[in-house]
Amino acid sequence: MRFFVDTANIEEIRKANEMGIICGVTTNPSLIAKEGRDFKQVIEEIASIVDGPISGEVKATTADAAGMIEEGRQIAAIHPNMVVKIPMTSEGLKAVKVLTGAGIKTNVTLVFSAAQALLAARAGATYVSPFLGRLDDISMPGIDLIEEITEIFSIHEIETEIIAASIRNPIHVIDCAKAGADIATVPYPVLEQMTRHPLTDQGIKKFQDDYRKVFGE
């Protein structure tokens, strides 16, 4: 399983990239709004840092296929690594089909069922993004959805890649890796959490103390 970072914050993207563990970035309208900066400017900055797929989503106010196609073309024109993120609706599927036909990569987002994932794949989506955390929030195990989609895609040899999204903690990440997700898009604080273990900290301290006792600073 590969990692994307799920943020529009340049500092977080820079730090995750320097760690050497991410190969892409996902954003969404909420994450862009949180930064309070121009969409194109943010995306261009991200593209100057990370050399991999960058998902930019059509505006939350664009609901019809024609609008999504128009906006999708503009997003794709920002940088060759752009992936157009489209919400999972019937209009969204129409837009995915047209954009795919034009050679533009797409990421179908807000996927909450295997049926939605299958439709998105058949419309030609490059990626589907099932949301774990938001399912957990309503007491439905999000991981079951990842398992179901990986099973279906494997049976039918579907090439659309599964991006496990709405990740809230390291356990989500490990469960997604075990379930066979291709990618997990992870918020930076969770990536940081994944680096830590109390025994690692204790071990470093003991190595330093033992060394200092004999050799000093």
Is residue 26 a contact point for ligand E4P (CB under 6 A)? yes
H or E element that contains 173: helix 170-179
> Rounded to whole angstroms, how far apart are CA atoms 76 and 72?
6
State whether residue 186 is helix, strand or coil. Answer: strand
Would you call 140 helix, strand, or coil by DSSP?
Answer: coil
Handedness of CA 3, 8, 12, 13 (dihedral sign): positive
Site string for ligand E4P, 67-106 (x = CB under 6 A): ----------------------------------------
Residue 179 phi/psi, 5° resolution? -75, -15
Q: Is 85 a catalytic residue?
A: yes
| Segment contacting ligand E4P by CB under 6 A, of 67-75, 88-96, 127-135, 191-199 | 127-135
Distance of closest approach, residue 23 Cβ to ligand E4P, in angstroms: 15
Q: What are phi and psi of 3, to 5 degrees?
A: -120, 135
The residue within the footprint of ligand E4P, chosen from 39, 131, 153, 188 (CB under 6 A), is: 131
Give the DSSP letter string of 19-85: TT--S-EE--HHHHHHHTS-HHHHHHHHHHH--S-EEEEPPTT--SHHHHHHHHHHHHHH-TTEEEE
- Span from 90-98, 125-133, 175-183, 207-215 in contact with ligand E4P (CB under 6 A): 125-133
Stretch touching ligand E4P by CB under 6 A, among 33-41, 72-80, 130-138, 151-159: 130-138
Give the nearer residue to ligand E4P in terms of CB position, either 11 or 217.
11
**CB-nearer residue toward ligand E4P: 109 or 150:** 109
Nearer to ligand E4P, 160 or 185 (CB): 185
Considering the rule CB under 6 A, would residue 15 count as an interface residue with ligand E4P?
no
- Of 44-73, which residues contact ligand E4P (CB under 6 A)? none
The active-site residue out of 15, 34, 40, 85 is 85
Instruction: Determine the Cα angle at 95 with ends 93 and 99, to 5°.
Output: 120
What amino acid occupies position 196?
R
Q: Which of 109, 116, 126, 160 binds ligand E4P (CB under 6 A)?
A: 109
Residue ranges binding ligand E4P (CB under 6 A): 6, 26, 28, 109, 129, 131, 133-134, 165-166, 185
